[in-house]
Amino acid sequence: MTEQYDLIIVGGGPIGLACAIEAQKKNLRYLIIEKGAIVNSIFNYPLYMTFFSTAERLEIGDIPFSCLAPKPGRQEALEYYRNIHRYFKFSINLFEKVTEVKKLENTFFKITTDKSLYESKNVVIATGFYDIPIEMNVVGEDLSKVRHYYKEAHEYAFRNVLVVGANNSSVDAALECWRKGANVTMVIRKNEINSRVKYWAKPDIENRIEEGSIKAYFQSNITEIRENEVEIDTPSGKVIIENDFVLALTGYKPDLGFLENMGIQLSEDELKTPTYNPETMETNVDGLFLAGVICGGMHTHKWFIENSRVHANMIVDYITSK
């Protein structure tokens, strides 16, 4: 027989774990299904990434997050969330991918994965947005030297590296690669570094650009990527530079098709914001909830761990009140 639950949580990131904590408190029969490792998005962050948030703003389940530095890094966050799992002993299936969520006539949902089938009265989608890169759609983007994810700088030392974008990930990568000996060029669509860049990194990158250590083309776009060079459209005309690697850190987007296949309505504007009740987080499909950054659609800078932790309480309180 298919296993049945009160709540299935799709996504084992911090917000999915927070939902499980609340479900556990209310004695709900729940299961987290995560396609990768626990807090998989954080695991895939750059090795030496530092959070903008302070440690206490990343806490879940009233468990303190101890951190010596003012801001925690990736390694400390992984340790914290592993310890959260050790403490709460979650019901969680790792490395299992949900492929379909379908509402049945008996008010249950059928959850299909690449390994099994489940049924649940309620489902929370807490899948984040880090899995699908926003592509540039230029010739040569499919070359192996083009990377949409950045891990560490060593591979790029003493090479010609082009970094696309002016957000936190782009700035961090540009600075780290330059400090490890890379010849770094940035291509930036707007006329300045993004105002959301971390306050300690923004003056650093601006000073490196001003002194000429890092070359930056503002109000510019890549038009073609070739094996040993890149063509750039700038305000002064076409520029061709020698190139070994392109770090196309142009952002990521949620799997909106996955939401639509469940019956969740999206806004018709470019943000594609999912429909949900902001007081309960329930979508237009009864019993189907959203939590975390997925709630913002393409506006991926609206929700973070620190301001969406409350979604867990809202969802479980509503489920148990029905």
pLDDT above 90: residue 68: no
The side-by-side arrangement of strands in the sheet containing 237-242 is: 221-225, 229-234, 237-242
Rounded Cα–Cα distance for residues 240 and 231 (Å): 4
């639509």: which residue's tokens? 260
The pLDDT assigned to 2 comes to: 82
pTM for this model (two decimals): 0.92
pLDDT above 70: residue 285: yes
Contact 224, 138 (CB under 8 A): yes
Q: What is the pLDDT of residues 223-254, one digit of tens each?
A: 999 999 999 999 999 999 999 999 999 989 89
Percentage with pLDDT > 90 across the chain: 91
Instruction: Please tell me whether residue 247 adopts helix, strand or coil conformation.
Output: strand
Identify the structural domains of the chain with CATH numbers, from first to last: 3-132+252-321 (3.50.50.60), 135-248 (3.50.50.60)
Looking at residues 26-39, what average pLDDT do you find?
98
- Residues 268-282 as b/e (b if ≥16 CB within 10 A, e otherwise) read eeeebbbebeeebbb
Q: Where are the beta strands (DSSP E) in 126-173?
A: 132-133, 146-147, 160-164
Q: Categorize the per-residue pLDDT at 94 as very low, low, confident or very high, splitting at 50, 70 and 90.
A: very high
Instruction: Write the single-letter amino acid at 9.
Output: I
Contact 149, 36 (CB under 8 A): no
Q: What is the pLDDT of residues 300-310, one digit of tens each?
A: 888 989 999 99
Strand partners, 231: 224, 240
The pLDDT assigned to 1 comes to: 67
Cβ-in-10-Å burial (0-12, 13-18, 19+) of 162 comes to: buried
